């Protein structure tokens, strides 16, 4: 049975604040419950360590936690829904019990999404934008969950990059709405690093404002990605400043959520950028 109100209208985030699009940028913390994350932060099956990380992210100011049990790094080996659930459910249930933040699950499989939503998640983050498993939209619609639809494709060939991405995302959004997902529950993601060359990733970042044409909140994930590594000549664990630059630029381009590994540092980047872009001010701010 679908909830009577859109999920994002009812969510409270860091420190119990009501989520309101456009007020400031929201920080989604990445928790990889995998043994093979590209960024070297995969937690495997160590549930206490995962819970401790979730609690630290909450303390550092994360607004949403995104748990993923299947690596999507270049060259990754897909896993079955059974294996994904075996990895995902124990830490998901433990994190849900430990923190006071909304939980997103990073999956493109409808069976995994259904069980994760039953276990406490309230958002599904689909890296294939319903292309891999269209019935995932039904899982979200049935319980009124939030749904992140990311642009992705096999290969990097485009006739016209930005219009092609826009058209693909529009198709994903339409498919979700046709299945019963409320428009207010949909977020779009241009898919930096997915089905795109480094030059194409940069071009997308330069043109994020184009994506606002779809009239959906925008999530951007650049954290530690290979394009930054190529630009800086650095491994994933040394891409903090590059990530910070792209987070600030993404906010300026219209991002509503940034998905990151380094919560404390990126919360600080967001607050300063939000002060300029959104007019955000901290509680107790006094103009001298």
Task: Please identify every residue annotated as catalytic.
Answer: 225, 259
Q: How far apart are CA 264 and CA 56, in angstroms?
A: 9
CA nearest neighbour of 103 among 195, 151, 53, 31: 31
Q: Rounded to an integer, what distance in angstroms lies between the CA atom of residue 121 and that of residue 93?
A: 9
In 3-state terms the chain splits into helix, strand, coil percentages (rounded to 5) of 45, 15, 40
What are the structure tokens assigned to 15, written together? 């420190």
């Amino acid at each position: 049975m679908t909830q009577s109100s859109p999920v994002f209208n009812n969510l409270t985030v860091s420190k119990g604040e009501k989520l309101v699009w456009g007020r400031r940028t929201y920080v989604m913390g990445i928790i990889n419950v995998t043994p093979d994350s590209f960024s070297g932060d995969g937690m495997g099956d160590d549930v206490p360590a995962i819970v401790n990380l979730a609690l630290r992210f909450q303390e550092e100011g994360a607004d949403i936690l995104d748990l993923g049990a299947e690596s999507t790094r270049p060259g990754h080996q897909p896993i079955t829904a059974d294996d994904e659930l075996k990895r995902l459910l124990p830490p998901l249930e433990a994190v849900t019990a430990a923190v006071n933040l909304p939980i997103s699950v990073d999956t493109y499989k409808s069976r995994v999404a259904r069980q994760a939503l039953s276990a406490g998640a309230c958002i599904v983050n689909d890296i294939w934008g319903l292309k891999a498993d269209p019935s995932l939209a039904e899982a979200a619609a049935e319980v009124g969950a939030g749904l992140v639809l990311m642009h992705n494709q096999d290969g990097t060939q485009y006739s016209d990059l930005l219009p092609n991405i826009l058209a693909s995302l529009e198709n994903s959004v339409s498919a979700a709405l046709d299945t019963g997902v409320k428009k207010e529950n949909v977020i779009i993601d241009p898919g930096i690093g997915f089905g795109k060359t480094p030059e194409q990733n940069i071009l997308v970042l330069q043109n994020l404002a184009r994506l606002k044409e779809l009239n959906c909140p925008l999530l951007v994930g650049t954290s530690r990605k290979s394009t930054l590594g190529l630009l800086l000549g650095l491994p994933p664990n040394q891409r903090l400043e590059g990530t910070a630059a792209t987070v600030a630029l993404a906010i300026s381009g219209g991002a509503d959520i940034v998905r990151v590994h380094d919560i404390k540092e990126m919360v600080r980047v967001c607050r300063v950028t939000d002060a300029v872009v959104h007019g955000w001010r901290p509680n107790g701010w006094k103009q001298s």
